[in-house]
Amino acid sequence: MTVLVTGGAGYIGSHMVLALRDAGERVVVLDNLSTGFRWAVPDDVPLIVGDFGDGDLVTEMLKRYQIESIIHFAAKIVVPESVADPLGYYLNNTAKARQLIECAVGAGVGQFIFSSTAAVYGDPEQNPVTEDETLKPMSPYGRSKLMVEWMLQDVAKAHPLRYAVLRYFNVAGADPQGRSGQSTPNATHLIKVAVQAALGHRNGMDVFGTDYPTPDGSCVRDYIQVSDLAQAHLDALNYLREGGESITCNCGYSRGFSVLEVIAVVKSVSGVDFPVRISGRRPGDPSAIVAGNARIKSALNWQPRYDDLKLIVDQALNWERRLHNRKAG
Ligand code: UFG
């Protein structure tokens, strides 16, 4: 029972590979290393460097490794980039995913777990947002993911494949054992940026808007620790293996923090009072989005272990130090 992880050399995918390996699962990684790193894949896990949209390669891999389940992370994930390059996003995130799903169906893969996003909700009318909320993605990125959700729904009706769609909220933190973390150069994510400012790797940071209709005026997000997110996939895999119906679940803690609150936690955990500039709104940011997580807790019995913003920030700080030393060394 081997699991194929696409994008397994990337931030979330590498934590997934660690979680599968720690659970004693056989795992194979397919990654084109466009944003992932060879070092992020443990030496005893086969890494095939290639494109998940390459049907011949994928079909050959599915056969050779007798893959029964696919966890599909590989994707482009930068919202403003998707606005500038929608066709690139629809090619990579949608068209190539279609190709991957076709290969999965052809090879009789039983379970398909798909990385979706809170971006499918756009700016929700109410929070916490449940999976049944109207879907109104505001970017090509969100739409590129939503179209794959739709494909999976249709495919699961026509073929034996069952799926779990996991809609991630804001993923942060690092492996508690320090084996992996967010390593993308020029990452734009809030906790990563704030941690870099705290460590002096960048000259302070900007807050994009303090005039939102939120308690302190800055945007509110639900920050989920990356190993807890990987655990959600393991739980989804076990659920599907035990015969569970195809399912769509939010992944978050159902608790929101504002940008200003996050920055205050980074300052207090790091002990550094770095410069913070108040800037204008970043186009396309919803004011607040927080996960309703009743479904993932009840259906998948997901039990998060790191629901603590200080701990998440501490992990991110430790990882950033490690990454910096690695580059310096
Ligand atoms: N922010 C700042 N300053 C920064 C970076 C971010 O103020 O330097 C703010 C943003 O404006 C936003 C909040 O911090 O209000 C969080 O921003 P991130 O870039 O960390 O994350 P997003 O909420 O924009 O994006 C996340 C995922 C996307 C997904 C989106 C769905 O990373 O993949 O949620 O809403 F599409």
Inter-residue long-range contacts of 55-58, CB under 8 Å, 24+ positions, other chains counted: 55/99, 55/102, 55/103, 57/30, 58/30, 58/99, 58/100, 58/103
Give the list of residues 6+ apart from residue 219 with CB closer than 8 angstroms, or none: 208, 209, 212, 258, 259, 285, 286, 287, 288
Pocket lining for ligand 1, CB < 6 angstroms: 77, 79, 117-119, 141, 170, 188-190, 193, 205-208, 219, 221, 259, 282, 285-286, 289
> Is 123 inside a domain boundary?
yes
Give the list of residues 6+ apart from residue 150 with CB closer than 8 angstroms, or none: none
Residue 110 phi, psi dihedral angles, 5° rounding: -90, -35
Q: Are residues 243 and 259 in the same domain?
A: no
Return per-residue pLDDT of the chain as tens, 329 residues. Answer: 899 999 999 999 999 999 999 999 999 999 999 999 999 999 999 999 999 999 999 999 999 999 999 999 999 999 989 999 999 999 999 999 999 999 999 999 999 999 999 999 999 999 999 999 999 999 999 999 999 999 999 999 999 999 999 999 999 999 999 999 999 988 899 999 999 999 999 999 999 999 999 999 999 999 999 999 999 999 999 999 999 999 999 999 999 999 999 999 999 999 999 999 999 999 889 999 999 999 999 999 999 999 999 999 999 999 999 998 877 65
pLDDT of residue 187: 85
Give the list of residues 6+ apart from residue 64 with CB closer than 8 angstroms, or none: none
pLDDT of residue 162: 98
Ligand 1, residues 143, 189, 223, 276: which to mutate, most atoms within 8 A of Cβ? Answer: 189
pLDDT of residue 326: 78
pLDDT of residue 329: 59
- Rounded to the nearest angstrom, the distance between the alpha carbon of 289 and the centre of ligand 1 is 11
- Rounded to the nearest angstrom, the distance between the alpha carbon of 189 and the centre of ligand 1 is 6
Catalytic residue check, 141: yes
Which DSSP symbol is given to 291?
A: B
For 328, the token pair is 């310096």
Ligand 1, residues 206, 219, 258: which to mutate, most atoms within 8 A of Cβ? Answer: 219
Q: 311 in helix, strand or coil?
A: helix
pLDDT of residue 284: 84
Q: Are residues 236 and 310 in the same domain?
A: no
> What atom of ligand 1 comes closest to residue 172's alpha carbon?
20
Q: Are residues 203 and 280 in the same domain?
A: yes
DSSP for 57-113? HHHHHHHHTTEEEEEE------HHHHHH-HHHHIIIIIIHHHHHHHHHHHTT--EEE
pLDDT of residue 102: 98
> What atom of ligand 1 comes closest to residue 279's alpha carbon?
7
Q: For atom 35 of ligand 1, which residue has the closest CA?
A: 119
Residue for token pair 């449940």: 130
Q: What is the number of structural domains in the chain?
A: 2
Cis peptide before 128 (omega within 30 of 0): yes
Residue for token pair 């998440």: 312
Residue 25: domain span: 2-171+224-251
Q: Are residues 68 and 51 in the same domain?
A: yes
- Rounded to the nearest angstrom, the distance between the alpha carbon of 170 and the centre of ligand 1 is 7
Residue 164 · residue 289 · CB < 8 Å: no
Q: Are residues 165 and 210 in the same domain?
A: no
Distance CA 324, CA 319 (A): 9
Ligand 1, residues 259, 274, 309, 312: which to mutate, most atoms within 8 A of Cβ? Answer: 259
Q: Are residues 12 and 154 in the same domain?
A: yes
| pTM exceeds 0.75 | yes
- Rounded to the nearest angstrom, the distance between the alpha carbon of 103 and the centre of ligand 1 is 33
Q: Look up the CATH number of the domain holding residue 20.
A: 3.40.50.720
> Is 177 inside a domain boundary?
no
Q: Are residues 123 and 258 in the same domain?
A: no
| 295-311 b/e (C-beta count within 10 Å ≥ 16 → b) | bbeebbebebebbebee
> Is 185 inside a domain boundary?
no
Q: Are residues 315 and 228 in the same domain?
A: no
Catalytic one of 141, 168, 239, 253 = 141
> Is 300 inside a domain boundary?
no
Q: Look up the CATH number of the domain holding residue 213.
A: 3.90.25.10
> What atom of ligand 1 comes closest to residue 141's alpha carbon?
36
Residue type, 201: H
- Rounded to the nearest angstrom, the distance between the alpha carbon of 78 and the centre of ligand 1 is 10
Q: Are residues 76 and 202 in the same domain?
A: no
Q: For atom 31 of ligand 1, which residue has the closest CA?
A: 119
Q: Are residues 144 and 234 in the same domain?
A: yes
Q: Are residues 194 and 123 in the same domain?
A: no
Q: For atom 3 of ligand 1, which residue has the closest CA?
A: 207
> What atom of ligand 1 comes closest to residue 142's alpha carbon?
36
- Rounded to the nearest angstrom, the distance between the alpha carbon of 91 and the centre of ligand 1 is 23
Please report how many Cα atoms fall inside a 13 Å half-sphere around the Cα of residue 291, on the Cβ side. Answer: 26
Q: Are residues 154 and 270 in the same domain?
A: no
- Rounded to the nearest angstrom, the distance between the alpha carbon of 190 and the centre of ligand 1 is 6
Which DSSP symbol is given to 325?
A: H
pLDDT of residue 85: 97
